[in-house]
Amino acid sequence: MCRRAVLTTLTEDNINAVKTFLMDLQDRICQRLEAFEPEIRFHEDAWKRETGGMGRTRVIAGGSVIEKGGVNFSHVKGDKLPPSATADRPELAGGRFEAMGVSLVIHPNNPYVPTSHANVRLFVVQKDGMEPVWWFGGGFDLTPYYGNEADCIQWHQTAFEALAPFGEAYYDRFKKWCDDYFHLKHRGEPRGIGGLFFDDFNELSFDESFAMMQAVGNAYMDAYEPIVAARKDTPYGERERDFQLHRRGRYVEFNLVFDRGTHFGLQSGAGRTESILMSMPPEVKWAYGYAPEAGSEEARLLDYYLQDRDWLGRQAQ
């Protein structure tokens, strides 16, 4: 368990530095994703709330590579923490909060290109009689429909290298946290092949914790871009598309049933419903009792890839 850090000198400069990085990160990610598209670009919906807060929702759809994607920045404030944020920290109930972050989901057209998700964020709580409490969170994870071992290794190697300057133990810890978090308990299966996930992080200094969050945010496109480039032109047909749509159903189930970010956004009233549900795929299928044919490539996704695997062989070290 990480200790609950306090920062008695938390200033607007601290918060503005994080906000500046996050807005720049959003810009850079959108630019690199748009490079895959010959014609379409992100549409921006900038918004403000009278009660405090603003955001830039950016959505791209109908591309030759990206069927639907969203890269959102939000900075929201509230007078009272919602239940999803105080379940593990009841001492903060009733506190005023400030949250900012970049959150994104990319759903490609080609079933051989995985869906990807990433987010990085800062949370600050102030309550009368207490010093300000802050923590960082974030990570990125990959949801393939047709597994590729080289892609999985490259994805996790990039994650490992992003965290290595802060201590090698962080990759192992955040990789396991990701495997545990992105797990559909009612299905008994992982959502994808994992990556990194951390939350409530403040065991380093504010500057070091911020630097680690930056490293994770910057590593996302370094991990995802080569996979998209390598798989986007792979031929596919109706069978692959049908399997992709059924597997997207698992993505929807996780986001609505388990995702803390979705729950926080809807419960807090500080976010915007359209932005919160931006992560949903444009098309999806559910069929009663659906299961891939035994021995097929579709079955191999579940039997081999979706197994919380040690892709870097670090357990043997």
75 marked as part of a ligand binding site: no
* Residue 59 backbone phi and psi in degrees, to 5: -125, 140
Catalytic center residues: 117
What are the structure tokens assigned to 102, written together? 């970049």
CA separation (Å) from 152 to 82, 158, 198, 211?
36, 10, 20, 25
Residue whose structure tokens are 């109930």: 93
186 marked as part of a ligand binding site: yes
252 marked as part of a ligand binding site: no
Q: For residue 101, give the amino acid letter.
A: G
CA separation (Å) from 279 to 38, 118, 153, 259?
23, 11, 25, 11
228 marked as part of a ligand binding site: no
Residue whose structure tokens are 């802060």: 166
What are the structure tokens assigned to 271, written together? 């976010």
For residues 95 and 129, the answer to whether their CB atoms sit within 8 Å is: no
User: CA nearest 200: which of 54, 104, 72, 86?
Assistant: 86
The CB-based long-range contact list for 55-60 (8 Å cut-off, 24+ gap) reads 55/271, 55/272, 55/275, 56/23, 56/26, 57/272, 57/274, 57/275, 57/278, 58/26, 58/30, 59/278, 60/33, 60/34
246 marked as part of a ligand binding site: no
103 marked as part of a ligand binding site: yes
300's enclosing H/E stretch is: helix 297-300
For residues 106 and 192, the answer to whether their CB atoms sit within 8 Å is: no
CA dist 264 and 275 (Å) reads: 13
CA dist 164 and 141 (Å) reads: 18
CA dist 182 and 74 (Å) reads: 23
Binding residues for substrate: 103, 119-121
Binding residues for a divalent metal cation: 107, 117, 156, 186
Binding residues: 103, 107, 117, 119-121, 156, 186
